[in-house]
Amino acid sequence: MDAVSINFRTEHEKVLSEMTVEEAEKHINDGQFAPGSMLPKVEAAVNFVRSGKGRTAIIASLEKAADAVEGKSGTRISLGENEMDQYYIPTDDPKTKLWQYR
């Protein structure tokens, strides 16, 4: 798989060259990604982007990694304009897995 798609294997399939975290979360909630396939990749990308300011994730095939870094392949996931100050910082409580917005 060279990039993330929605409506996969339908006549309305759309390859996404980029999406925001907000869009990714909407597609996750809409059930657009298969649990054993694209879903864990998109979830990991969202978590990575949210884990620090200015981060961007790329989902791409290993064969096209160089093209993906140049924006010629794959899907880039980043914070949208209205999400720029919403990244996670870990809590001080080691018992919780929750993150707080900064």
Q: What is the pLDDT of residue 67?
A: 95
Q: How far apart are CA 2 and CA 86, in angstroms?
A: 28
Q: How many CA atoms does the CB half-sphere of 71 hold within 13 Å?
A: 3
- State what percent of residues in the chain have pLDDT above 70: 80
pLDDT digits (tens, 9 = 90+) for 25-75: 999 999 999 998 999 999 999 999 988 778 999 999 999 999 999 999 999
Inform me whether the pLDDT recorded for 91 exceeds 80. no
Could you tell me the pTM of the whole model?
0.80
Domain ranges of the chain: 4-101
